[in-house]
Structure 1
């Protein structure tokens, strides 16, 4: 599985400032609707329901919200970069500015986990995150994410 299979280039957005997690989920849902036709209400409700189980802020300014949606046929993603980091109840208590959300079919098991692992690995790469923070063109952001982490073999 590759990021290009999950993330349509049109599913990337740069936002100046976000007032709340609820507002962010609205933007993620809008992007999912515009790009993949996912019902806006379903996307927002599923993200909020998952977040109520525990925050998806994984640290180092990154959040990986994810949700299962009835009617989807494959796992898809949206990416938002915030110019101004926001509080996200992340595990390290640091504000978040890089958000990669995944939407998976309600009955997906392994595919959802594979996608989440891939995105997590990608977003843990400090070089990738630095490049994402340094660029403001959505096509460039897609290229950075699509390239994935660089192998650091010994």
Structure 2
């Protein structure tokens, strides 16, 4: 089972000169390897990125850091840049998940996003999976991972530990 901590990174954070060196320092301090972490970036942050920023993200990706486009579909949503950006994962926004099991047009868009992402060898995560129908629908469309209240609401670090570790009873 793949174990990874994903962190949302803002465009402002990416523009800080020390961002990449601080990330490297943190990996070392906490004895992590690059594949232990994932960076979730908005479409906007990636589209606005200059060549140097894209180069630094590409280097992280080559080292094993998972780079994800978060909330896909809410920003520019241009499929043309998907193969140009250093990303491994596409997180489909909740707004696409909500009605996909119930409406043909929403389902067609959802399926197209999943299909294109898979053809580009991207991992697909559906956000906002809240009902049994969402779970069944996403699984039937070969979504790689599901995220949402159907599995758990946000948890404190203490509650997360009990959620992840088996009870000793």
- The TM-score with structure 2 as length reference comes to 0.25
- Highest relative contact order (Cα 8 Å, sep 6+), 1 or 2? 1
User: Which structure has the highest strand share of the two?
Assistant: 1
- The TM-score with structure 1 as length reference comes to 0.26
Of the two, which has the highest radius of gyration? 2
